[in-house]
A and B are shown apart, each in its own frame.
Chain A
Amino acid sequence: MNLRTLWRKSVNIIMLSLTGLCALVAVSVLFFILGYLVYHGGRDVNWDFFTKLPKPVGETGGGMANAIVGSGKLLFLAALFGIPVGLLGGVYLAEFGGHAVPFVVRYTADLLNGVPSIVIGIFAYALVVMPVHHFSTLAGGFALGVMMIPIVLRSTEEFLHAVPRSMREGAMALGASKWRTISSVVLPAASRGILTAALLALARVAGETAPLLFTAFGNRFWSPGWSQPISSLPVMIYTYAVGPYEDWHQQAWAAGLVLLGLVLVTNIVVRTLLSRGASPQRS
Chain B
Amino acid sequence: MNPTENNTFCPNEIDASCRVPLLALFGGAALWLVLGLALGIAAMLSFHQPDLFAGCPFLSYGRAQAAANDLLFYGFVIPAALGVMLWIFARLSRSPLALPLVPVAAANLWHVGVLVGTVSILLGFSTGHPWLEYPRAAAVLLFAAFMLVAVSAVATMGFRLNRELYPSHWFLFAALLWFVWSYATANLFLVSGHPPRGVAQAVVGWWLANNLIFVWLALAGVGIAFYFLPKIAGKPLASSGYALFAFLTLVFFGAWAGIPPGAPVPAWLPTVSAFGALLSLIPVIAIGIIAKKTVCGAKVPCRGGPFCFIKFGVLGFVVSSLLYLGEFCPRASRVLEFTWFQTGVTQWQLLGFAGMILCGAIYEILPRVMDRELPFAWLVKLNFFLFAGGTLLFVVPLLLGGVEQGLKLRDAAVPFADTGAAALKFLRVSTTGQLLALLGSLCLLLNILVMTIQWKLGLVKCVVTAVTAPLNAPEVKS
Say whether A associates with B.
no
